[in-house]
Amino acid sequence: PGTFSSYEWRFINEDAILSTERLYEVMDAGVYEVTISNGLTCTRDIIEILDDCDPIIYAPNAFTPDSSSGLNDTFTVFPNPYVTDFQIFIFSRQGEMVFQSTDMNFEWNGTYRGGLLQMGTYAYIMRYKSTLDLERGVIEQHGGVLLMR
């Protein structure tokens, strides 16, 4: 809040100014310091930029199959354009695999062997590769989804 007349971006604990613009586009991981001033007072803030380009697949934590609303009836994930070789495995509390797919656009309706499963939490494992870092190999992401009625 407020109007500032000067900006100074630096790596923390270094004297060299990287930029005096209001916005600074960071290209490298590190700890940055910005000092802003309005001519009467100044303030400083420290920002840490991490080099973390792992793609994450976002998924809801609950769904309501067979609900009368027709909303949120299936469990699905939000596709990530930087993911290839996708797999998902969903397990019951007893560790039995109740669903699997290699299609990132899958929709699980909470059934297994033709019947609707009981309410409860179902663990999942997603495996995939990142097009941003193919040398990394397979990435494994764990989570759980609550089947509600």
pLDDT digits (tens, 9 = 90+) for 95-115: 999 999 999 999 999 999 999
**Coil, helix or strand for 71?**
coil
Give the pair of three-digit tokens for residue 118.
């009981």
Give the integer Cα–Cα distance in Å for 129 and 133. Answer: 8
- Residue 34: is its pLDDT beyond 80? yes
pLDDT digits (tens, 9 = 90+) for 114-145: 999 999 999 999 999 998 888 889 999 999 99
